[in-house]
Amino acid sequence: MPFISNTGKLDTHLCAFLDMIAWSEGTSKNVHPLTKMDGYDVIVTGVSGPEIFTNFSSHPFAGRRPPKHVTGSLFSSASGRYQFLEVHWNYYKEKLKLNDFGPRSQDLWALQLIRERRALTDIKELRIQEAISRCSNIWASFPGVGYGQPEHSMGQLIAVFESALNTLKSSAHHTKSDNFN
């Protein structure tokens, strides 16, 4: 469940979409074997296996750590629940005035990327296939991206979204809000 949803300021549909991204990227607690924070602490899995981090003061690769060998000639700095690349960290840190790489910052960053792809309305109006398509070039696990990493089908993602939405709707602490337009 997105950290920011605990504030009651995030639309249930957006929470389910963020949960779907975490599942797709392999970071959610239901998927990742080491996470202690529902994916917010995950570093991309590579040839050396799964890994987590505990220092949220900055992106885990911001301290000049070399990208992690994923497979073949693919190296990555993807980190956090939504697998953000270090190369974009300084830009979004400044743009969104993020104090750290903690859960709240990761949620705000993911929402900003969704906003930039003009997918917020699609999500709120349950046009999930359209939202996934609009965001497909951001997350390597989305269908049709072609980044050379495993991709999930549109059907799988929609099923995960619907499951997350049903779980969230049954939870009493979520409220609808338009604070992220």
- Which of 25, 86, 94, 125 is labelled catalytic? 25
Q: If 0-12 CB within 10 Å is exposed, 13-18 middle and 19+ buried, where does residue 22 land?
A: buried
Q: Are strands 68-71 and 49-52 parallel, antiparallel or unpaired?
A: unpaired
DSSP string covering the chain: --GGGGGT-S-HHHHHHHHHHHHHHT-STTT-SS-SSTTTTEEEEETTEEEE----SS-TTTTSPPPEEEETTEEE--BTTTTB-GGGHHHHHHHTT-SSSSHHHHHHHHHHHHHHTT-HHHHHTT-HHHHHHHHTTT-TTSTT--SSS----HHHHHHHHHHHHHHHHT-TT-----TT-
Let me know if 151 is a catalytic residue.
no
> Which residues participate in catalysis according to the annotation?
25
